[in-house]
Structure 1
Amino acid sequence: MRFHTRKWVKPEDLNPNGTLFGGRLLAWIDEEAALYAVVQLENAHVVTKYIAEIDFKSSAKTGDIIEIGIEVVKFGTASLTLRCEVRNMMTREAIITLEKIVMVNLDAKGNVKPHGKTEIEYIKNRLK
């Protein structure tokens, strides 16, 4: 799994318990999954269709740095299924693992559109 993004946990990211607010983390994950899908599918019109069961294993507090990792599980006809892992770099603990996030490729009118992709493409290979 490649860890593409790091986030610094700030006071505004906390819940009343003083730990990372789950909704904030899920927003970061959703954004990371969308960005990953947009780059892979080469289309800015991508939406989240499904996120699997959410089970928090640990948390983070102010000053902690978390990493968000994404990997492709499957290319569908018009979808991309991803797996996500988030870990706390300070404590070395896994915060959450999402086994299935499904992103769907759309056309400019919001209709499902086949993407024609079958494997991961790296940006460096597109820039040749």
Structure 2
Amino acid sequence: MRFHSRKWVKPGDLNANKTLFGGKVLAWVDEEAALYTIIQLENKKVVTKYMSEINFMSSAKEGDIVEIGIEVIKFGVSSLTLNCEVRNKMTRETILTVDNIIMVNLDENGKPKPHGKTKIEYVRDRLAK
């Protein structure tokens, strides 16, 4: 799994227990999944269709740095299925995992659109073409 982004846990990210609020982490995951899909499919119009069970395993506190890892597990006709791990950069403890996130590629009318992709592409490879 490749870890693509990092977030710094700030006071506004905390819950009443002074640990990282689960809803904040899920917002970060959803945003990261969308960004990853936009880059892979080369289309700004994507939506989250589904998130499987979310397994919270540990937390983080103010000042910690967390990193978000995403990998593709399946290319569909108009979708990508991803999985995700969020971990504490300092301790390497897993904060949460999501086994399946389905992102859908859309056309200009907001309808599912085939993307024609079958494998992961890296920007450096696109630039070399």
TM-score, normalised on structure 2? 0.98
**What residue is the counterpart of 1:122 in the other structure?**
122
Q: Which SS does the other structure have where 1:74 is aligned?
A: strand
Mapped to 1, the partners of 2:46 and 2:83 lie a distance apart of 17
- Judge conservation of contact 2:54–2:99 (CA < 8 Å) in 1: no
Name 1:16's counterpart in structure 2: 16
Gap regions ≥5 residues in structure 2: none
Whole-Å separation in 1 of the counterparts to 2:117 and 2:8: 33
Give secondary structure in 1 for the equivalent of 2:7. Answer: strand
* Counterpart position of 2:53: 53
Instruction: Give the counterpart letter for 2:95 in structure 1.
Output: I
Q: 1:81 matched to which residue of 2?
A: 81
What is the letter of the counterpart of residue 37 of structure 1?
T
Tell me the SS of whatever aligns to 1:92.
coil
Distance 1:92 1:54 in 2: 18
- Deviation of 1:91 after TM superposition, in Å, equals 2.3
* 4+ residue runs over 3 A deviation: none
Looking at structure 1, the residues matched to 123 and 110 of structure 2 have their Cα atoms a distance apart, in angstroms, of 26
Q: Structure 2: which amino acid aligns with 1:84?
A: C
Aligned equivalents of 2:125, 2:56: Cα separation in 1: 36
Which one-letter code corresponds to 1:63 in the other structure?
A: G
Alignment check: 8 A CA contact 2:9 2:61 kept? yes
Match of 1:38 in 2: 38
Extract unaligned runs of 5+ from structure 1.
none
Match of 1:32, as an amino acid? E
Indicate the RMSD between aligned Cα atoms, in angstroms. 0.6
Distance of 2:38 and 2:44 partners within structure 1: 5
